[in-house]
Amino acid sequence: MGKKRGIRIDFIQPGNPQQNAYVERYNRTVRYDWLAHHLFDSIEEMQDFATNWLWSYNHERPNMAIGGITPKQKLALTA
């Protein structure tokens, strides 16, 4: 499917998370904020939790890297 749409997948080199810093930072946030603190009984339960957490992350949780506002607020400022 990716080749049909001209998408090329490049993997980062092992041990070099700085090659994809934004994704690695997000993954660390997910891991420390909730993944390491909860046991889930099903994939569906985990997906629901993840969806709710992502909404909260973007709409309610201040992000210090963007001045202590939420990503949604930052987006509204740039629009």
The DSSP-derived string for the chain is -TTTTT----PPPTT-GGGGHHHHHHHHHHHHHTGGG---SSHHHHHHHHHHHHHHHHHTS-BGGGTSB-HHHHHHHH-
In this structure, are residues 49 and 40 in contact, taking their beta carbons and an 8 Å threshold?
yes
Q: Kindly indicate the confidence band of residue 1, based on its pLDDT and cuts at 50, 70 and 90.
A: low
Average pLDDT, the chain: 86
Q: Kindly indicate the confidence band of residue 42, based on its pLDDT and cuts at 50, 70 and 90.
A: very high
pTM of the entire structure? 0.62
Give the Cα separation of 68 and 62 in Å (integer): 5
User: How confident is the model over 9-37, as a mean pLDDT?
Assistant: 84
